[in-house]
Amino acid sequence: MAMSILRQPIRTSLKRTYSTTRPFVPPAALRDIDNAPRQRTKPRPESPTFYTARSPYYDQLNSLESAIQYSRSALTKFQLLPLPAFARDSLPHLHPVWMDKREMGDALSSKLTTSRYRRVTQLLNELNDHRRIAHAAGCEDLGEGIESIVKLFEKKNQEAILARGKRKPVKFDKYGRSYTLGKRKTSAARVWIIPIAKPSAVPQGQSQTPEEQQPDKLDLTLTGLEDVFSDPKAKPTIPVTPATVLVNNVPLAHYFPIPADRERVIRPLKLTGLLGAYNVFAIVRGGGVSGQSGAVAHGIAKGLAAHEPAIEMILRKAKLMRRDPRMVERKKTGMAKARKRYTWVKR
Amino acid sequence: MASSGLRPWLAATRCLKKTALHPSRQPVRYAVTSFSNNEPLKSVEDWRRFQEDRAEFKMLMEYMGQYGSSQTRDNVFQPHHSLHKPLAPSEATLSALIAAGAHLGHSKSLMNPNFMPYAYGVRAGITIIDLDHTLPLLRRAANLVRAIVSRDGTVVFVGTRPDLRVTVRKAAERIGPQAFHVGERWLPGTLTNKLQMFGPEVSKEQRIAPDLAIFLNPLSNMHAIRECAIQHVPTIGIVDTNVDPRIVMYPIPANDEHPRTAELIAGILSVAGREGRLIHEQETQRRAQANERFKRGREKNAAKVSTVHD
């Protein structure tokens, strides 16, 4: 049925008239005959790869190969190819994210098999390598030219894919507050950390001199105790800023009655010496008491690292930046609990 | 161990002990010599200096080159010359063919009996091809390509091996829009199953069958050769000693395995094709001018006749 439908267009379109002998021309009309060779009516195919029957794919492949040849010769002229090992090592690493097979097939307007896709990506990797060398050496024109070709085959969400698995930077709001999440067992804590404004250190009843107007600097010549013993009404020179830690809108001491939990929450601030520097506001849900304290501590550690990147290493060494992966192990069949086995019976 | 008296050629192996072959004792000929220290390149200025050092070294070599051999990279044979600087059909010589290894056939036992007229003899177990037959046949094929292209014909270069892919592409590009190339597998039915391969519009509107097909490895493309025979397309092919030369219309008996031979032959044919294209362009120009003159003459005559009548 399908074949008979196909046969009809063949009959009409490819029908040819064969004339094996020349047609008769009366002698009077001979001089009007155009003796030029018969011009072909149909045009010839346009693409040089027409006879491969996969013209779009091979045309694209050929153009990519031409681009590679051109960039290679240009880089050779600029003394950038072939690169010795030490120069190649100093190049930045390549992280290309090419389109997948289906998208690439749409871009090349031909269905791609795996081997063809691999071939295209191989050429693109070489072109990308040339781009990297051109950019590193400062040949911006060449680099931009190569980029215009390579960009057509890169995935649209390339940055998002490359950023997967990396820690997202903590954003501060307009008041300078950080918002971080902390987790432990099944508890989750949302922690806001606000830096405390430094007070001007003007103690009452003391005359001001230019040296004493620096509140951050400690006066090491005199200890505070001497001042206290000499003058009972004198206040200490070191300014003290009390920090507030609120958990679920409740002060720390009220929410965590057990001292161990309180210590766990304060530990990040103690280790880094930032006890009076930041106010903490946390909302924690799920789990039990110590789980919640661990979650708040995790959130505080991440927030402090965002405010002061220098102390991140201290917290990382103390394993406070790490989300504790220990969770309650499930009960298994044939056992009383996760690990507890039933009493062994000999018979 | 053989004594040097009985088997003197083994004396060399006795001299070279394993310790002598140790890499630490061999002269370091492969070390990279650079005039700058091999520090990692960080900034753009570092890269600039690296490029300048290299350019300086090259200039020094070029300057010193005038005191050494007169052979330079440009006037000495380079392997890529057969692809980028092909010979013209008039420059094809026996020595060029031998240099390209065109005379080396296949094993004696694999020789096709129909190839006998083009075989010179047997040496080292392989059949040697008679290049005194090859050269005129190559010239004939070149004349054919030139004639077909000068009459607005289409030519297809078929070379379906990975090393022939670049050759056929370059040859087709040299001739211009009238030439095509197939560097990967020829899909069976390209000429005989046009409707399915190219669709109804293309098969109706464009001329599919080429006017000449050139095969650089005909033995692997028997389907294509059969299709060309069915569609009455003349064929040129490089026939080796294990191939029957009658499969193509214009055989060129030569080595079909060595890429250099294929590059040489495809280059010669493409240069002939380029000449044909120039002839075609000149012909079309000349005919256009003649038509113009004829039209102007007719108009003049018509004006004269009308004035006479008046």
- Contact B187/A53, CB-based, under 8 Å? yes
ipTM comes to 0.83
Distance separating alpha carbons of residues B200 and A67, to the nearest angstrom: 34
Would residue A75 count as lying in a domain? yes
Would residue A6 count as lying in a domain? no
Q: If 0-12 CB within 10 Å is exposed, 13-18 middle and 19+ buried, where does residue A87 land?
A: buried
Cα end-to-end span (Å), chain B: 118
Q: What is the 3-state secondary structure (H, E, C) of B62-114?
A: HHHHCCCCCCCCCCCCCCCHHHHCCCCHHHCCHHHHHHCCCCEEEEHHHCCHH
Q: If 0-12 CB within 10 Å is exposed, 13-18 middle and 19+ buried, where does residue B122 land?
A: middle
With 80 as the cut, is the pLDDT of residue A58 above it?
yes
Distance separating alpha carbons of residues B293 and B285, to the nearest angstrom: 12
One domain, residues A152 and A239: no
One domain, residues A71 and A134: yes
- The angle formed by the CA atoms of residues B156, B158 and B159, to the nearest 5 degrees, is 150
One domain, residues A310 and A193: yes
B46–chain A nearest CA distance, Å = 8
Would residue A331 count as lying in a domain? no
- Contact A51/B156, CB-based, under 8 Å? yes
Distance separating alpha carbons of residues B269 and B214, to the nearest angstrom: 9
One domain, residues A108 and A158: yes
Contact B34, B42 (CB under 8 A): no
Distance separating alpha carbons of residues B193 and A344, to the nearest angstrom: 78
Closest CA to A220 of A199, A240, A237: A237
One domain, residues A219 and A134: no
Token pair recorded at residue A95:
């992280």
Taking domain B86-274, whether its CATH number is 3.40.50.10490 is answered by yes
- Contact A62/B204, CB-based, under 8 Å? no
Which residues of chain B are within 8 Å of residue A89 when distances are taken between CB atoms? 40
Which residues of chain B are within 8 Å of residue A137 when distances are taken between CB atoms? 44, 47-48, 50-51
**Where in the sequence is the domain holding A58, given as residue range(s)?**
48-162
Closest CA to A183 of A308, A321, A331: A321
Q: What is the pTM of this model?
A: 0.73
Peptide bond into B136 cis (omega under 30): no
Structural domain tally of chain A? 2
One domain, residues A134 and A191: no
For helices B259-309 and B165-175, angle between their N-to-C axes, nearest 10 degrees: 20
Would residue A255 count as lying in a domain? yes
Cβ-based interface (< 8 Å): residues of A facing B: 6, 9-10, 13-14, 36-37, 40, 42-46, 48-54, 58, 62, 78-80, 84-87, 89-90, 136-138
Per-residue pLDDT of chain B (310 residues; tens, 9 = 90+): 445 566 766 666 555 666 656 656 555 544 455 555 678 888 999 999 999 999 999 999 889 888 888 887 778 888 899 999 999 999 999 999 999 999 999 999 999 999 999 999 999 999 999 999 999 999 999 999 999 999 999 999 999 999 999 999 999 999 999 999 999 999 999 999 999 999 999 999 999 999 999 999 999 999 999 999 999 999 999 999 999 999 999 999 999 999 999 999 999 999 999 999 999 999 999 999 999 999 999 999 999 988 887 6
- Contact B187/A49, CB-based, under 8 Å? no
CA–chain centroid gap for A238, Å, is 45
- Condensed to tens digits (0 to 9), the pLDDT of residues A276-301 reads 899 999 999 999 999 999 999 999 99
One domain, residues A153 and A191: no
For CA atoms A45, A50, A54, A56, give the dihedral sign. Answer: negative
One domain, residues A238 and A292: yes
What CATH number has the domain bearing residue A250?
A: 3.30.230.10
Which residues of chain B are within 8 Å of residue A84 when distances are taken between CB atoms? 32, 34, 38
CA–chain centroid gap for A168, Å, is 8
Which residues of chain B are within 8 Å of residue A37 when distances are taken between CB atoms? 151
